[in-house]
Amino acid sequence: MPTEYFEARERALLGERYDRLYAPPGAEPARGVTVSALRMSPEAFRAGADFGLEASPFCAAGFVVTEPGFKPGRHPWHHAGVFYSQEPSASAAAPLLGVRPGMRVLDLCAAPGGKTSQLASALAGQGLLVANEYVAARAEILKSNLERMGVSNAVVLNESPERIAAALPAFFDRILVDAPCSGEGMFRKEPAALAQHSEALVAQCAALGASILDSAAEALAPGGEILYATCTFAPQEDEGQVAAFLARHPEFVLADVMERAFAPFGSPGEANRTGGLPLDVSLVRRIWPCQGGEGHFMARLVKAGPPPDIDRAAQESLWLARMQRPAAEKKKPARPARDRRGAEAAAPAQVLEAWRAFAQETFPALADRPAVALGENVLLPPACPPLGLHILRAGVLAGEVHKGRFVPGHHLFTAFGAFCANIEALDMADPRCAAYLSGQEIPAGTAREGWCCVTVDGCPLGGGKASGGRVKNHYPKALRLLG
């Protein structure tokens, strides 16, 4: 049952429509998956999936899972980053931003990463994706999910929106604000949302959302767009929030959310929820429980002015050159540096030389890609300006040098497995697939001697090293399926 405050408020706003709009379509919350274009098309996914599903009404790449016993975290395609397990209506927001390859995109409240992975799919490995999460533990989960999904051009931050806006003013083409909210749309799905709900929480979340939106406005370039989304019904966090933002920011206009929807869904906003401020509620969108979702609100905000006239290619080349310069110009220390094992550490030039030698043999398409030595580690960075922010990961941590030899990391295989010159190809039905995911050594079939990428149905799972007809398992222990 909803809280007394929630029901009294909503009955006052909706009248006799309350019982109809808040009637869920089923006894249990719908479950869904969203397919990553970095791995597979929705058509190929539907044709190859070995579990029951049907097309989602909210997203062209989304599906509603119809199989009650389906366990997404144990499926090989989950481990290969083919799909993200996501409540169906939650997948509606990200596509409405109109992200295209080459753009600079910010997800200000990104964890755990479902919508972020959709933005990454739209970028197709081109441009820059900055994914931020203020809560440190959630930021680590975000980083892990983006690695699993094979995202190569992301910078993962654990920062406040204010500091991001100060570091990157008028920088981004698109910003997603999936705001921390009172979670009224999660009452049925998450009992904790119901237990903590109160009028005071709604007011607190509305104030926080306003602050985040103000930071997003500062970080957005002229001509850019913000997609504001919540999973609540509270007027102060939805129509009232957007109307107040537009009153504070006359440089923004409200655009029609549904212009970019692949199919009609949800309902327009409600005029009696704006707090008395002007707002064309026909341009915003709500999803009520009776419409097949748990509950969402979306609004699209466009910043006036022409986009910046910048030679982005030249700018990004300069950033990448600056990233590589410190490693090449670093002065020799008075005493030899030691690695984490106590041995004398390799110099940056030696680290990069070991990486190049490995890449030329195993990942030849990456051999000339900009790389940075970070101690023993090699980073393949995205084109990003100096930030001065708390960065958890920028680009792909390719691996590390140990005793003069390069040892590839898991993210190298998930991000660039398609470029690996040595493949151990599996499919879902192959018992070696389950064995690999559980950490076992498997018989080699297609891989020759040396490091290889282990794939399932053409999508990278991780790394291995073939020798003597066997593939030694290098799937991270923390990710393995046990039992």
The catalytic residue positions are 231
Query: Would you tell me how many other CB atoms lie within 10 Å of the CB of residue 134?
Result: 18
Q: Are the CB atoms for 266 and 285 separated by under 8 Å?
A: yes
Question: Which residues are 54's β-sheet partners?
Answer: 64
Torsion of CA 141, 142, 148, 153, to 10 degrees: -150
Burial label for 448, CB within 10 Å (0-12, 13-18, 19+), is exposed
Residue 164, both tokens: 């991001």
Backbone phi and psi for residue 175, each to the nearest 5 degrees, phi listed first: -135, 130
Residues pairing with 300 in the sheet: 227, 255
Handedness of CA 426, 430, 436, 437 (dihedral sign): positive
